[in-house]
Amino acid sequence: MEKNILELTLLLMYLTSWEEEPNPFEDRFKQCWKGYSFDAINELTDKGYLFPSKYKNKSVTLTKEGEKLAKDLIEKYLK
């Protein structure tokens, strides 16, 4: 998939995410709805920017690496 599409998808996921309560594995984590291309979601998961979904959740969780890249993409695309 085209790099710009993946970057912009991750950026939109980050911008529309919400913070969930702490769990035993993380201090906090951001989730967003799966309203994006499943090909993009799968590729972002393969690259380590999203946690793999174990269930048929309607949301996905960003990894720390995904959050960091999304913050860098804000500088690239929005400033």
As a whole number of angstroms, the distance between CA 40 and CA 45 comes to 8
- Beta bridge partner(s), residue 39: none
Q: Residues with Cβ < 8 Å from 15, sequence gap 6 or more?
A: 70
pLDDT given at position 1: 81
Mean pLDDT of 24-36: 80
As a whole number of angstroms, the distance between CA 17 and CA 33 comes to 8
pLDDT given at position 74: 95
pLDDT given at position 54: 73
